[in-house]
Amino acid sequence: MTGDHVIAKYQNSRLFRMKALCVLLAFVGLSVAIPSDFVFPPLENGGKNWALLVAGSNGWGNYRHQADVCHAYQILKSHGIPDEQIIVMMVDDIANNKMNPTPGKIINRPEGDDVYHGVLKDYTGLKEVAPDVFLKVLQGKKEELAGIGSGKVIDSGPNDNVFVNFVDHGGPGIVAFGRKLLHALDLIKTLDDMHKEKKFAKLLFYMEACESGSMFEYLLAKNKNILAVTASNATTSSYACYFDKKRKTFLGDVFSVKWMEDSDKENLNSETIEKQFKIVKRETNTSTVCQFGDMKIDSMTVSEFQGSSQSNQIVYPIPDPNVGAVPSEDVDLHINMNLFKLASTAEDRKYYSEKIAQESMRRGKVAPLIQKIVSIATNSNNRQVERIMKARMGLFRHECYKAAVEHLADTCPQLELRQQFGYAFKHLYAFVNLCEESVPTETILEAITKGCSQ
C-alpha cells in the first residue's frame, strides 16, 4: 500500500469517526455539554443583551413570584449574560423569612435546587420595588435613581436587545407592584418612548399575572420591535403550581415554570421565540398564553434575549405544573384548604377551618361592595347594574379607569387592593364597564367615595 493510500485511508477513517461523534452528540443531547468557555458570536452590530427581572409582590403566600424571578436570573446567568447587564427587583422577604424551613434558600419546583444563591438584589423592599422605579430603570434614567437601590438601569442603545420578565398579581389593565399599581397606559407609554429614543433593537417582554393580556391588548403596536408574551389573555387568571407541604405555599407559576423549563433544556441558539411560545402555550393548559406586538420577533432565537453561551447545568425532568395548579387569586384559600387536609390534630384542623372561614368572609365582601358602587354610579338602573356586573368589555378609556381604580384603592381599604388582594382585582372589570359605558369619571369617583363610606 502506498503512502498516499495510507493517508487517504486515515483521513476517511477520521472523517467517519468525526461524523459518528456528531451523531452521538446529537443523540445524547444534554448529556454532553459544549465547553463552558465556548462563546457564541455576539449580537449584530456589537449589541448587548440587557435584562430586567421583577417580582412585584411580598409576603410568604407569594413565595412563588420571587422563586420565578430567581430562577430566571439563574437561566440568564448560566447563558452568559453578565451581572452588569442584569437588573433584579424583588422585595427580598422570602429567603430569610421566619417561615422558610431552609433559610437563605428558595426553590422553584418540588425538591428543586436553590435558585436564590448569587441573585442580584438591585432594588429591594416596598419603597424600591415600585412602578415609578421600574419605569425609570427600564428607560435608563440613572440620574433620577440616585440614592435608590443599586442605581443600575437598562443602559441600552439602538443595537441592544432587552428582555423583561415581570411576575406578580394582575387585573384588568393593571399589575400589582408592592403597595402600588402599574397601569397599562403608563407601561405602553414608556415602551413607546423607548422605541422613539432608540433604546433597543428588539425588546421581549414575558409577563406572569392574571389578565396580563390586558396590559398589551389594543395598545402594543405591531411595528415597534416589541413582542409581549403573557401568561393569560385579557380576562382570565394565571395559575400557581407546586404546593409544597414543607413550606406551606406554592413554589411556582405554571407559565413561568414552563418557559423556564424550556430555556433550561433547549439549545437557545437554535430555538426560536416562536418555537418556545408554541411549546409553552401547548403545555400550559391552565391559562391561555398569548402574544402581542411585533410578530417578526418570533423568528429570532431565544439566545438573542436570554444569552448565547452554553449552559453546563444538569437538567432533570420536572413534575407537570398543571397538576394541582390553582388560579392565582385563589392561592390564599387553597393554602389553608390544603393545610386543613394535612392537619394531624384536632387543634390544627380547628385553626385552619377558622382560617378558611375568614378567607371566605374576606372574599364575600367584594362583590356586594362593588355592586353597591355600581348601583350608585348608575342611579340604581337595575338593568344597567346587571349588565355592568356581568359583561367583560374591552378597555379603551384608560384615563377614566386609572382614576377610578386609584381612588378605589385609596378609599376602600376593605378591598385590600394595596395589599394585592387578587380576588378583589378580579372584580375590577366592573369599573372597566362603567368607563366604557361612558359614565362620567367624576360620577364614578363620587360613587366610590359614597359606597365605601357607608
169 an active-site residue? yes
Please calculate the CA angle 156-161-163 and round it to the nearest 5 degrees. Answer: 100
How many residues does the structure list for the chain?
Answer: 454
Alpha carbon distance 346, 438 (integer Å): 54
Residue 70's alpha-carbon distances to 79, 89, 329, in angstroms, are 14, 10, 22
Give every CB contact of residue 155 below 8 A, 6+ residues apart in sequence.
50, 140, 142
Alpha carbon distance 47, 156 (integer Å): 9
Cα dihedral 213/413/401/449 (nearest 10): 160
117 an active-site residue? no
Q: Is the separation of the CB atoms in 447 and 191 below 8 Å?
A: no
Residue 402's alpha-carbon distances to 29, 190, 431, in angstroms, are 50, 16, 9
Please calculate the CA angle 85-89-94 and round it to the nearest 5 degrees. Answer: 130
Residue in 454, 451, 439, 363 with CA at minimum distance from that of residue 401: 439
Q: How many other C-beta atoms can be found within 10 angstroms of the C-beta atom of residue 379?
A: 11
Cell of 367: 362583590
- Report CA 46 to chain centroid distance, whole Å: 29
Active-site residue identified among 70, 210, 400, 412? 210
Alpha carbon distance 57, 253 (integer Å): 13
Active-site residue identified among 65, 79, 169, 183? 169
Alpha carbon distance 124, 148 (integer Å): 10
Alpha carbon distance 185, 173 (integer Å): 8
Q: Is the separation of the CB atoms in 226 and 293 below 8 Å?
A: yes
Phi, psi angle pair for 325, to nearest 5°? -70, 150
Burial of 365 (0-12, 13-18, 19+ CB in 10 A): middle
Which residues belong to the active site?
169, 210
